[in-house]
């Protein structure tokens, strides 16, 4: 059902500092920051030959990333994202197996402009998991 790893998302309290590490120290190509108000984050994508790293900074106090950083002040891995060919079919298969889709279960548009869903970390080895329609 899942395809390739699309990205690993890392929560950061200072996006500019994160860009300095990945774009400066590691020499990676980093996208321009983009605000994603529907998700409460500002993001950049670090381009890798085989995948991406997404750096997430909270947009406001009610951001889920702000809550994550309260518990993890140094930041850290927030979620992993896998590509799927048919997001609705994947959702239905997971729900039929008793696994939890977060929110209302309906896809939202993610930072790549494609539909996404998030899956409950307790059902996925303690890892918040995002599925993205390819």
Residue 30: how many other CB atoms lie within 10 Å = 19
Beta bridge partners, 119, equal 101, 129
Cα separation, 51 vs 68, whole angstroms: 24
130 flagged as catalytic: yes
Three-class SS state of 133: strand
Cα separation, 73 vs 71, whole angstroms: 6
Residue ranges in the chain assigned as alpha helix (H) = 15-19, 64-71, 87-96
Cα separation, 129 vs 59, whole angstroms: 21
Q: What residues are annotated to the active site?
A: 130
């Amino acid at each position: 059902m899942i395809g390739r790893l699309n990205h690993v998302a890392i929560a950061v309290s200072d996006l500019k500092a994160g860009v300095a590490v990945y774009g400066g120290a590691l020499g990676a190509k980093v996208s321009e920051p983009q605000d994603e108000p529907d998700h409460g984050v500002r993001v950049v994508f670090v381009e890798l030959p085989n995948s991406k790293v997404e750096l997430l900074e909270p947009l406001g106090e009610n951001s889920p990333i702000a809550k994550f950083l309260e518990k993890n002040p140094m930041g850290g891995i927030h979620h992993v994202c896998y590509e799927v060919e048919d997001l609705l079919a994947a959702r239905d298969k997971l729900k039929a197996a008793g696994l939890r889709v977060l929110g209302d279960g309906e896809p939202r548009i993610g930072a790549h402009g494609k539909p996404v869903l998030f899956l409950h970390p307790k059902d996925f080895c303690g890892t918040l998991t995002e599925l993205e329609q390819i």
